[in-house]
Amino acid sequence: MSKKPLILGIETSCDETAASIITENDEGNPRILSSIVSSQEEVHKEFGGVVPELAARSHIEKIDWIVQKAIDKSGKEIEEIDAVASTAGPGLVVCLSVGLSFGKAFSSSINKPFIAVNHLEGHALSPKLNSNLNYPYLLLLISGGHSQFLNVQGLGKYKRLGTTIDDALGEAFDKTAKLLGVEFPGGPQIEVFAKKGDPNKYNLPKPIFNKGGCNLSFAGLKTAILRISKKIKTEQEKFDLAASFQKTIEEILYKKTKIAFSEFQNQNITKEKIFVVAGGVAANKNIRSMLTNLCKEENYKSIFPPMELCGDNAAMIAMVGLEKFKLRQFDNLDYPAKPRWQLDEEAAFLKGAGVKL
């Protein structure tokens, strides 16, 4: 029996220091042997957001033992590793540089191939870690730094259908939480607050709701939340605002996803219509439920990564590394960090906004 590839993945694009070892089973499906994620919530809590220099310093302090822990937990030896995959972008350049430099040095020390990975591609392929996923498929990537619809045609083949013209959805959740007095990272807490509130209490704006195709906008919604939050006097009003925000987001995503479905179908002739939702916000149970129901209405198969793989992790980076390893797509050790690395390099940009409306 031939040896299965063994890939080390490293992720340091923002404030998670992560390492993972994955391989394949006898059927050729990916198998996670270890996935270690060290959060920096306590480091950044007092600042209400990620401080790049502090994040980078924390990565430097942790990266060595996080990688060693991932190797130890996998039950494998260092010399058994076949390739090292590190996130090269997008993200905070000072943070990216830590994992990228460590990955290069590690691959050089064991004389094995190095693979630079796009963090967004990691999210895009993350459902392959727990499901048989065939190309092409429509991807909704919703995280703290990105919100976009992508036509995923194969490894390295992505066509952007829509994106946010201003803020990412995850950022909108975190900023709303901060305005409601929730400590960083507060985004996930919005869902908890929303369960206690009246979703019809506040009529919030839905920017570019009736235009712009499946592009998204959340800046105007955040401004409305800021204005209303200044008048809030009770805990119940906080819950009501959170519930109204959650409902508004669901309505926006429902309509924009239906538009994305149509655009995806216009671009692809495929028997099976697959819709993948990935990124940190994909862990929001209300959003998952709403999108699952929409897929049933539109005859799409919905696929989500496991909850623990929605946020930043190294297993998804190793997953891309595994796919590239099998195609012998390796990178040189002088590969640079790319803080603004897009999945669709050919996407048209509107001057000053980043999208085509």
pLDDT digits (tens, 9 = 90+) for 82-96: 999 999 999 999 999
Question: What pLDDT, on the 0 to 100 scale, is given for residue 270?
Answer: 80
Fold of 134-304: Nucleotidyltransferase; domain 5 (3.30.420)
Three-state DSSP class for 222? helix
Determine the pLDDT at residue 355.
43
Render pLDDT for 129-141 as a digit per residue (tens, 0 to 9): 988 888 999 999 9
**Tens digits of residue pLDDT in 97-150:** 999 999 999 999 999 999 999 999 999 999 999 888 889 999 999 998 899 999
For residues 203-226, average pLDDT? 96
Give the mean model confidence (pLDDT) for residues 235-264.
Answer: 97
- How many whole angstroms separate alpha carbon 325 and alpha carbon 114? 9
Do residues 145 and 90 lie in contact, with contact meaning Cβ atoms separated by under 8 Å? yes
Tell me, what amino acid is at 87?
A: T
- 187 vs 172, higher pLDDT: 172
- Model pTM score: 0.92
257-261: long-range pairs with CB below 8 Å, 24+: 257/140, 257/149, 257/214, 257/291, 257/294, 258/294, 258/298, 259/162, 259/213, 259/214, 260/138, 260/140, 260/149, 260/161, 260/162, 260/214, 261/138, 261/298, 261/300
Task: Give the tens place of pLDDT for each residue, 7-65.
Answer: 999 999 998 999 999 999 988 899 999 999 998 777 777 776 778 889 899 999 999 99
**Residue 107: what pLDDT?**
98
pLDDT for res 2: 64
- Average pLDDT over the chain, rounded to whole? 92
CATH of domain 7-128+309-326: 3.30.420.40
Instruction: State the span(s) of the chain assigned CATH 3.30.420.40.
Output: 7-128+309-326, 134-304
341: its two tokens: 């690395």
Average pLDDT over residues 315-327: 97
